[in-house]
């Protein structure tokens, strides 16, 4: 007699277009699939309907987020098995889908399309208008200051750290501090200099630059909770006279003549068609020989977006392009590239540290944001670490300068000093 799990294995084979690299356990307790493979638990027939309506990444993600599907054991191991298998990149034909529907019918799984989990982003209007950009940023960053305070280190730095030690006592907070100092050195910050921090997050760089390098910072964000947090921290630390926080779109930034500009993992939110204008703004607001540091994630030419799951649940309207294209756009705006520093492997360590925190404090995170959102973040962090590990994504610090009228950049001749601690 064919068990439910065996039928599920056949169904998954048809939907994925190849042998499943995982073992399945069905809602009746039966199991089938490769012995010793990661175990996927199909808790209800609704999980099958999700896969039939959305075969591929988003259907699997929504089945997991909703709890219709679960993983026993190491989620990263299961995702790695799927990604490394041809079946992990499904493009089922019409014939496969018809066969899958027939199998699903025998299992009693046919039915209307299940509703998406309630935490899915639902944005309206044309992409990258000011209002839609504000909604996209709010979906991710206004989740809850309490959530991010629990997840991140005390600096609230929500970007790739810079890991300079293998000492077991070296912490994520140390890696973020070293990243902030590296950025300040590359920008050549001096007391009294003016720094524009576009997409300032919770103010890690703005507050560090003001406290440690005595610069005057204009910090810009679209997230109201971030603006309130940075303002409160600046006042609490006695930096209110050095840090000004503005709640505005980057297109509405006024003035110029800044000595330095930073955009730390903000450029991914600008949009493909809008990046030319963004690069032109970076050039415009800088004084001659002023420096800009862009820390930005990248994807390959085949999949430059964030992916269906990321765009639906984490960062709507995100666009990542190959590194070389970003460099070309910055150069086309009149900026001269001073250095490019790859941090991909640093992001693997950073994200894994965030994931450990999430798992260790799971019973704290679920009451804060709800079970579905907590499962979104578990999937996001595990998948993100794997994407950087497998070079499906990268992240780089790009240092550029606005040359003066005689073509001089003012950059130091020995850039290794940025890493060794000498004068920049």
Q: What is the pLDDT along the chain (424 residues), one digit of tens a residue?
A: 789 999 888 877 776 667 888 999 999 999 999 998 999 999 999 998 998 888 778 888 999 999 999 999 899 999 888 877 765 555 666 776 777 778 878 888 888 999 999 888 887 888 888 888 777 777 776 678 899 999 999 999 999 999 999 999 999 999 999 999 999 999 999 999 999 999 999 999 999 999 999 999 999 999 888 999 999 999 999 999 999 999 999 999 999 999 999 999 999 999 999 999 999 999 999 999 999 999 999 997 766 666 888 888 888 888 899 999 999 999 999 999 999 999 999 999 999 999 999 999 999 999 999 999 999 999 999 999 999 998 989 999 999 999 998 888 888 875 656 655 444 4
pLDDT of residue 303: 65
Domain ranges of the chain: 4-106, 130-420
Query: Which fold, 130-420?
Result: Rossmann fold (3.40.50)
Residues 6+ apart with CB under 8 A from 382: 75, 76, 79, 355
DSSP string, 301-370: SS--B--HHIIIII-TT-B---HHHHHHHHHHTTPEEEEEEE-HHHHHHHHHHHHHHHHHTHHHHHHHH-
Angle at 115 between CA 112 and CA 118, to 5 degrees: 175
pTM of the model: 0.91
pLDDT of residue 95: 72
The bridge status of strand 243-247 relative to strand 216-221 is parallel
CA atoms within 13 A on the CB side of 16: 21
What is the model's pLDDT at position 175?
98
Q: Mind listing the pLDDT tens digit for each residue in 319-342? A: 899 999 999 999 999 999 999 999
pLDDT at 350: 98
Alpha-carbon gap, residue 340 to 399, rounded angstroms: 6
pLDDT tens, 165-219? 999 999 999 999 999 999 999 999 999 999 999 999 999 999 999 999 999 999 9
According to the model, what pLDDT value does residue 414 have? 57
Q: Which residues lie below 8 Å from residue 130, measured CB to CB, with a gap of 6+?
A: 249, 251, 252
Structure tokens at 217: 């910072």
State the pLDDT at residue 210.
98
What pLDDT shows up at residue 180? 98
pLDDT attached to residue 422? 42
Could you tell me which of 113, 5, 105 has the C-alpha nearest to residue 66?
113
């Amino acid at each position: 007699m064919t068990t439910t799990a065996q039928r599920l294995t056949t169904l998954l084979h048809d939907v994925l277009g190849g042998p499943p690299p995982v073992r399945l356990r069905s809602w009746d307790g039966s199991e089938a699939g490769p012995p010793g493979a990661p175990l996927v638990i199909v808790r209800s027939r609704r999980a099958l309907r999700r896969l039939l309506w959305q075969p591929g990444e988003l259907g699997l993600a929504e089945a997991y987020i909703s709890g219709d599907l679960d993983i026993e054991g190491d989620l990263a191991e299961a995702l790695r098995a799927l990604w490394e298998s041809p079946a992990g990149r499904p493009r089922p034909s019409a014939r496969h889908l018809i066969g899958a529907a027939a199998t699903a019918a025998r299992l009693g799984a046919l039915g209307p399309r299940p509703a998406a989990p309630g935490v899915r982003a639902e944005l309206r209007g044309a992409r990258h208008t000011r209002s839609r950009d504000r909604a996209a940023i709010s979906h991710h960053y206004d989740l809850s200051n309490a959530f991010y305070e629990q997840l991140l280190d005390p600096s609230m730095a929500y970007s790739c750290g810079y890991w300079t030690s293998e000492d077991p006592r070296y912490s994520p907070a140390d890696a973020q501090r070293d990243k902030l100092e590296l950025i300040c050195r590359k920008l050549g910050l001096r007391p009294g200099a003016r720094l524009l921090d576009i997409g300032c997050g919770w103010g890690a760089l703005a507050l560090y630059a003001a406290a440690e390098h005595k610069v005057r910072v204009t910090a810009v964000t679209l997230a109201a909770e971030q603006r309130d947090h940075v303002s409160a921290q600046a006042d609490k630390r006695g930096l209110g006279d050095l840090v000004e926080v503005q709640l505005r779109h980057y297109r509405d930034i006024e003035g110029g003549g800044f000595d330095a500009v930073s955009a730390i993992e903000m450029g991914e939110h600008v949009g493909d068609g809008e990046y030319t204008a963004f690069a032109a703004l970076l050039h415009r607001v800088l004084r001659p020989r002023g420096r800009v540091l862009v820390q930005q994630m990248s994807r390959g030419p085949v999949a430059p977006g964030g992916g269906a799951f990321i765009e639906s649940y984490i960062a709507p309207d995100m666009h990542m392009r190959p590194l070389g294209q970003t460099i070309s756009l910055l150069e086309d705006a009149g900026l001269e590239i001073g250095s490019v520093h790859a941090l991909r492997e640093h992001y693997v360590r950073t994200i894994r540290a965030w994931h450990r925190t999430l798992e260790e404090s799971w019973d704290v995170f679920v009451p804060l944001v709800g079970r579905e959102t907590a499962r979104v973040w578990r999937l996001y962090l595990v998948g993100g670490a794997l994407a950087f590990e497998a070079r499906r994504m990268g992240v780089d610090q790009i240092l550029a300068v606005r040359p003066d009228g005689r073509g001089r950049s003012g950059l130091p001749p020995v850039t290794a000093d940025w890493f060794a601690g000498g004068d920049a």
